[in-house]
Structure 1
Amino acid sequence: MASKKFDLVVFGASGFTGQYVVDEVSRVAAVEKLTWAIAGRSMAKLQKILREASSRTGKNLEKIPIIIADTTNQPSLDDMAKQARVVLNCVGPYRFYGEPVVRACIEHGAHHLDISGEPQYLETMQLLYDKKAKENNVLVIGAAGFDSIPAEAGVMYLQDKFENGRLTGIESYLSIQHGPQGGGINFATYESAVHGISHAKELIGLRKSLYPEAMPKLQHRLVRRPNRFYSEDVNKWCLHFMGSDKSVVYRTIRNHLTTGVMKHPIEFFPYLCLASLFSALKFVTFWSMFTFLSQYSFGRWILLKFPQVFTLGYVTKAGPTQEQTDTTTFSMTYVGYGFDSNEAASAGGKPNRRVLARLSAPDLGYVTTSICLVQSGVIVLKEAGSMRHSSGVLTPGAAFFGTSLLQRLEKHNIKIVTLSDTVGAKL
């Protein structure tokens, strides 16, 4: 890739999330001495993005190169990939627009990173393109934003904590805090969720093709939580989290078992925290309606035609305001279970160690996502020698295990700390 013109190309720079990624790249590229460009369909919109980003960041970005590329025009994607060492793909929903970009990157030797939280897309790309990506020495890393680097970071952190023992299971608890103006998400994220739910049954056959062999049997199982429950670890009511974290983490676990990073499988269960039982019940009601309507073409039309009605204003095509984004934060609390030593694990019995840790970060959908994506791109560029894989379609946890990911995130206001570490026969 020595002949490549740009270290990073932000594809979809004029989209809602793409604008945040442009701001983040502008800050990081100056420090890391990286060359970069932006790409998308409209020259006028891309020029406007650079003017606005110049105003927001205080940097003169109006001379940053622009590449015209469109997901409906394969030659334009090929031209973009020929010029990039790493493409940061911000164009979703990825089930509709992702594959042509992946294909162009693999064919022309550009590493591809995206921020998809769509299991069907992520796992389909692995099934279809892993072999070709390895042949062409290209990395394709999905879920490199809020979906699902915070979850993967928690797994990495706890793996390190249990280095001299055995980690057997992890629970994660996502809690979102909004400011006085409330929060919101962009329409494209909502659209991805609608189509993801409507096609969820595809995953059964897809996973049988991707993983014909069952996961090794677990020796120690986590407690099965009810559909809603109160957690004293976070002092909140909790529900099962329906995002992509679970599927991504389990793909990482399979990779680690294959490559020897893990000798034993672990369980992972993600949960969503709500402020009260009433809030939890409201969310369950909304999710039930959302899931039901997503199963039918007319229901999907209604959901996508009137997003503000069905989400009480939480989803808009304009996306959240800057003030909403600036005042939104989130935390992810991890509870890791295991044994304090290999001797204790070999002796049998129940896990005797419990580690409670917490990640704290700014707005999840756009600020944290941009930080995660850009730092992932920098690692691919700067730390190829310490990455366990030089090619293939991978999860962040498989790609970045053993790299400086956690340290880089901490320098950018995404921090994990240990809250408690308990060893004893009864936890």
Structure 2
Amino acid sequence: MSEERIDFVVLGASGFTGQFVVDEVARVIEEEGGNLKMAVAGRSMEKLQKVLSESSQRTGLNLEEKPIIICDVTSEESLAEMSKQAKVVLNCVGPYRFYGEQVVKACIENGAHHLDISGEPQYLERMQLLYSGKAREEDIYVVGACGFDSVPSDMGVAFLTEKFDGDLNSVEFFVTLHPGPDGLSGNITTLESALHGIAHAGELKPLRKTLFPTPLPQSQYKLQPKSAGFNKDIGHWCLNFPGSDRAIVNRSVRFDYEVNQKRPFQVGAYIQLPSFFYMVLTVIFGFIIGLMAKFSIGRSLVLKYPQIFTFGVFKHGGPSKKQIESSGFSITLIGKGWKDKLTDVDSQHDTPPDSKITVRVSGPEAGYVTTPIAMVQCALTLLKEVSKDKMSGGVYTTAALFRGTSLIDRLTKHNLKYEVVTEQGPI
């Protein structure tokens, strides 16, 4: 990869999330001594100039002379020209179902690593199916879900496995969003991605059958997940978490089994709610969105009037500055297994799990503070610590690629905290 290339190219820099990624890249370059280079990319020179100007004001850094690359994701030629100039492309253009594959393809063909912040399992798993072999041949790393989906949970599970001494049977994690006084809000692109994910959920089963033809060994001590109910381990009402996190972690588990010969374990993902009343409201909300997502006219109505259909959770223009600054998240992860370790990863324990550990990941607002931090630290770790001598190119989850690196330490220094809540002990 040419030394003249730009270290970080933020594609979609003028988008709602992209602008925050630009801020974070600029801050990290300053922290790293100013020796790294950045550029912004997108369709509009005027909008990109505005992003650099506004980012300069927010960060206190002079960014207005940073390179601007005009790039349209519908143009193979412009994507190729952008990719030839980059070491790492930080792709912030969604929904990735529509705009992701062409960027991945261009990066692989033109020598740039590719990171995105997608939370769309169909897109992520399709990229692994179609491009992992080609990326390996070209020594290019393609890493999806480098934002709140799913760095806290994926690296959180990796953190838990390192702290657990023995064989894990299951890891369940419980996501809690902590709103400030003005509540929570999300940008319309996130909602659009979710709607299309629901509408095309039927794609996942055949896709996974092709991608993962061989089932993993199954424990006889099965998780008993509930779609809704009171969870005694966590002491709260919970619902199945609809994000991509469980799918991402399962891919990491499979990678560890197939490549690193580590014992697989079961994964459960939930959203933690403050009361039975909130659980009921969330179920109603999910039912409405799920129903509307099945029809094109329904999706159009939700995207046209998001504040009505989502009770103000999503809106055009995204959350306010005050909402972003006052919100946060935490994820509690509970691992259960056996303190004794079997030598054969395919053999099974014949007694119930006897050991338990609890860890937690916490941080600032999920979508527009945590996501840029996670994405940029993944990109920096990729540049500084990952090489073909340690790991061949390919399409990876964050835990598959970054386990054993300093990523968790880097995230902790940037206000994403990984900690053991309860040391390993008897269940």
Name the TM-score, length of structure 2 as normaliser. Answer: 0.96
Question: Displacement of 1:293 after TM fit?
Answer: 1.5
Residue type at the aligned position of 1:303: V
Q: Distance in 2 between the 1:2 and 1:220 partners?
A: 51
The one-letter code of the counterpart of 2:180 is: G
**Deviates further, 78-87 or 394-403:** 394-403
Query: Is 1:295 the counterpart of 2:297 in the alignment?
Result: no
Secondary structure of the equivalent of 2:317?
coil
Q: Is the 8 A contact 1:167 1:338 kept in 2?
A: yes
- Verify the 8 A CA contact 1:170 1:269 in the aligned structure 2: yes
Shift of 1:388: 4.7
Q: Deviations over 1:320-373 (max 9, x none)?
A: 011100001000000011122326998741111110111110001111010110
Unaligned runs of at least 5 residues, structure 1: none
Q: Is the 8 A contact 1:368 1:414 kept in 2?
A: yes
Conserved in 1, the CA contact under 8 Å of 2:171 and 2:333? yes
8 Å Cα contact 1:387/1:401 also seen in 2: no
Which letter does structure 1 place at the counterpart of 2:398? Answer: P
Identity %: 48
> 1:10-409 residue pairs with structure 2 within 5 A?
10-32=10-32, 33-162=35-164, 164-222=165-223, 224-262=224-262, 264-342=263-341, 348-385=350-387, 388-409=390-411
- CA, structure 1 residues 58+282, in 2 after alignment: closer, same or farther (shift >3 Å)? same
Cα deviations by residue, 1:32-68 (Å, 9 ceiling, x for unpaired): 2311111111000000001100110111110111100
Work out the CA distance in 1 between the residues paired with 2:108 and 2:22: 23
Is the CA contact (8 Å cut-off) linking 2:139 and 2:388 kept in structure 1? no
Deviation sequence 1:254-291 (CA, Å, 0-9, x none): 111111251x2101100001111111100101101111
Tell me by how many angstroms 1:419 deviates: 1.3
Distance 1:318 1:387, change over 3 A: farther
Moved over 4 A (4+): 343-347, 385-388
CA distance in structure 1 between the partners assigned to 2:388 and 2:422 by the alignment: 30
Aligned partners of 2:303, 2:197: CA distance in 1, in Å? 13
Contact 1:171 1:334 in 2 (8 A): yes
One-letter code of the match for 1:377? A
| Equivalent-residue separation in structure 1 for 2:389 and 2:355 (angstroms) | 30
Please list every run of 5 or more consecutive structure 2 residues that lacks an aligned counterpart in the other structure: none
1:294 to 1:6, Cα distance in 2 relative to 1, 3 A: same
Paired AA for residue 83 in structure 1: Q
CA distance in structure 2 between the aligned counterparts of 1:43 and 1:261, rounded to whole angstroms: 49
Instruction: For residue 31 of structure 1, report the CA deviation from its aligned partner.
Output: 2.2
Per-residue deviation, residues 372-419 of structure 1 (Å, max 9, x unmatched): 100000011000249852310111111111111111110000011111
Distance in 2, matches of 1:47 and 1:265, equals 48
Kept in 2, the 8 Å contact 1:240–1:271? The answer is yes
Cα distance in 2 for partners of 1:142, 1:285 equals 31
The TM-score, its normalising length taken from structure 1, stands at 0.96
Give the partner amino acid of 2:110: H
Cα distance in 2 for partners of 1:261, 1:383 equals 23
Give the number of aligned pairs.
422
Q: CA RMSD in A?
A: 1.6
The answer on whether the counterparts of 2:219 and 2:348 sit within 8 Å (CA) in structure 1 is: no
* SS of residue matched to 1:27: helix
Contact 2:115-2:146 at 8 Å conserved across structures: yes
Q: SS of the counterpart of 2:214?
A: coil
Q: Which amino acid aligns with 1:265?
A: P
Paired residues of 1:387 and 1:400 also in contact (CA < 8 A) = no
* C-alpha contact 2:141 2:394 (8 A) present in aligned 1: yes
